[in-house]
């Protein structure tokens, strides 16, 4: 079986709020899949549907080929989950919570548990009430990473981690990828997504607006060009794929879709280039375009 998670046309509403509005998501075996989108886009809702905590109103979802609602318990033996908001039991220590979750999943690796506790510099003897936000998150992360689950579902797992811990986290995820584990990673940290993810899905208002590998997505981004030209920039402004065209004396500034970069540069060269700077496409821009409501349509 190739796809670990398959969802198509998922719909879910909470009263008047349409949280999911025909969402599609495919996560392949062995990949780290980034799940991105602005606040309230429906990431956590999707994850809860996949975990069988919410019942979708429409569409279909399969997890390991099974029904996430009906086969919840059997499917859960094969996955580990870190919630977006980690709340712990005030009277239980972090170590107890880690062990409890491992046992409820059906066993875990003691050696790995202790190693992870050390790597994340977590004190397992503190009571749930007394952990800081980042440390609460670490408790859930250690519990998930120490498991031998095939699939890790992580809902913004690093939103409270310091940069040092963030890099430990990235090392761990890369190691899990080596071990052939599949990861669904929802995140707001684009650098993290760039560093870790093989493929990403971007969702907005409950719909998937873009999905693909990072290279494919880069293709959708625009390169910023600033050039000093020998002759007037005839025809440049109207070329397909050229945006935000500005002329300042002999200088021109514009953005160009990465897909038509080659033709544009050739036309530019024909105008006589005296100086040229170009800024490589960043995912940041792509995300911003998609995150902004109008930007995605244009």
Partner 1 sequence: MTALAGTGQLLRLALRRDRFILPLWAILLALFPASVAGSFKALYPDPVELAKFAKSMIASPSITGFYGPIFAPNLGSLSAWRSGILVIIAALAVSLTVIRHTRNEEEQGRRELLGATVVGRPAQLVAALLLAFGTSAVIGVLAALGLASAAPGAGAWAFGLEYAVICAFFGAVAGLAAQLTQSARTARWIVGAALGGSFLLRAAGDANGDENSVLSWISPIGFAQRIRPYAGERWWIGGVLLLIAVAFGLWAYKLAGSRDIDAGLVAPRPGPPRAGRSLSSPLGLAWRLQRGGLIGWLIGFAVISGVLGSAATTASDALKDSPELAEMFQRLGGATALGDLFMVTLISITAIAAAAQGIQAAVRARTEETTGRLEPILATAVGRTRWNAGYVLFALGGPVLSMLVVGLVGGLSYGGSSGDVSGQLPRILGAALVSLPAIWLTVAIVLALFGLAPRLVAAGWVLLAAFLLLGQLGAVLQLSQWALDLSPFTHTPHLPGGAMTWTPLIWLSLLSVALGALGFAGFRRRDVG
Binding site for ligand ATP (CB under 6 A): 14, 17, 19, 37, 39-45, 84
Q: Can you give the three-state secondary structure of 166-213, one letter per residue?
A: HHHHHHHHHHHHHCCCEEEEECCCHHHHHHHCCEEEEEECCEEEEEEE
Q: Within a 10 A sphere around the Cβ of 173, how many other Cβ atoms?
A: 23
- Give the binding site for Mg ion (CB under 5 A): 44, 84
Whether the CB-CB separation of 269 and 292 falls below 8 Å is answered with no
19 touches, from ligand ATP, partner 1, Mg ion, none (C-beta below 5 to 8 Å by class)? ligand ATP
Quote the least distance from Cβ 121 to partner 1, whole Å.
14
Residue 36 or 79: the one with the smaller Cβ distance to Mg ion is: 36
- Residue 99 interacting partner from Mg ion, ligand ATP, partner 1, none (CB closer than 5 to 8 Å by kind): partner 1
> Which of Mg ion, partner 1, ligand ATP, none has residue 153 at its interface (CB below 5 to 8 Å by kind)?
partner 1
Cβ-closest position to Mg ion: 44
Nearest CA to 291 out of 90, 81, 39 is that of 39
H-helix or E-strand containing 97?
Answer: helix 94-105
Rounded Cα distance, 141 and 135, in Å:
9
Instruction: Kindly tell me the burial class for residue 283, based on how many C-beta atoms sit within 10 Å of its own C-beta (0-12, 13-18, 19 or more).
Output: buried
- Rounded to whole angstroms, the maximal C-alpha distance in the chain is 75
Give whichever of 51 and 197 is closer to partner 1, judged by the CB atom. 51
Cβ at position 202, least distance to ligand ATP in Å: 11
Q: Which is nearer to ligand ATP, 158 or 264 (CB)?
A: 158
Measured from the CB atom, the residue of 47 and 98 that comes closer to Mg ion is 47
32 binds, among ligand ATP, Mg ion, partner 1, none (CB under 5 to 8 A by kind): none
Which one of Mg ion, ligand ATP, partner 1, none interacts with residue 31, CB within 5 to 8 A by kind? none
Give the nearest distance from C-beta 76 to partner 1 in angstroms: 5
The minimum distance between CB 6 and Mg ion, in angstroms, equals 21
**Backbone angles phi and psi of 99, in degrees to 5:** -65, -45
Q: Which is nearer to partner 1, 24 or 96 (CB)?
A: 96
By beta-carbon proximity to ligand ATP, the closer residue of 45 and 158 is 45
Exposed/middle/buried for residue 247 (C-beta within 10 Å: 0-12, 13-18, 19+): middle
In eight-state DSSP terms, residue 1 is: -
Nearer to partner 1, 143 or 252 (CB): 143
Helix (H) or strand (E) holding 145: helix 133-145
Selection from ligand ATP, partner 1, Mg ion, none that 53 binds (CB < 5 to 8 A by kind) is partner 1
Write down the least CB distance from residue 197 to Mg ion, Å.
17
2 contact partners, CB below 8 Å, separation of at least 6: 28, 29
| Minimum distance of ligand ATP from residue 85's CB (angstroms) | 9
Partner whose binding site includes residue 40, from Mg ion, ligand ATP, partner 1, none (CB under 5 to 8 Å by kind):
ligand ATP
Rounded to the nearest 10 degrees, the angle between the axes of helix 94-105 and helix 110-119 is 140
């Amino acid at each position: 079986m190739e796809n670990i998670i398959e969802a198509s046309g998922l719909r879910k509403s909470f009263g008047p709020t349409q949280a999911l509005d025909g969402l599609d998501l495919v996560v392949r075996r062995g990949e780290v899949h980034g799940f991105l989108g602005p606040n309230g886009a429906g990431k956590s809702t999707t994850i809860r549907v996949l975990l069988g905590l919410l019942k979708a109103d429409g569409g279909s979802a399969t997890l390991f080929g099974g029904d996430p609602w009906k086969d919840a318990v059997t499917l859960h033996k094969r996955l580990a989950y870190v919630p977006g908001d980690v709340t712990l039991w005030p009277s239980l220590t972090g170590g107890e919570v880690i062990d409890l979750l491992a046992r409820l999943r059906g066993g875990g690796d003691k050696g790995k548990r202790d190693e992870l506790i050390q790597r994340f510099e977590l004190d397992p003897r503190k009571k749930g009430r007394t952990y800081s936000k980042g440390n609460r998150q670490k408790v859930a992360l250690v519990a998930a990473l120490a498991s031998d689950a095939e699939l890790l579902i992580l809902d913004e797992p690093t939103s409270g981690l310091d940069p040092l811990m963030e890099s430990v986290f990235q090392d761990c995820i890369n190691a899990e990828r080596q071990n052939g584990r599949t990861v669904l990673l929802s995140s707001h940290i684009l650098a993290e997504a760039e560093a870790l993810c093989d493929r990403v899905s971007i969702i907005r208002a409950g719909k998937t607006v873009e999905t693909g590998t990072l290279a494919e997505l880069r293709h959708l981004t625009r390169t910023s060009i600033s050039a000093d030209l020998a002759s007037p920039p005839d025809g440049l402004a109207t070329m397909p794929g050229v945006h935000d065209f500005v002329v300042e004396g002999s200088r021109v500034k514009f953005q160009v879709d990465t897909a038509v970069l080659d033709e544009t540069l050739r036309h530019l060269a024909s105008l006589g280039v005296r100086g040229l700077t170009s800024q490589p496409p960043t995912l940041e821009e792509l995300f911003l375009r998609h995150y902004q409501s109008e930007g995605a349509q244009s």
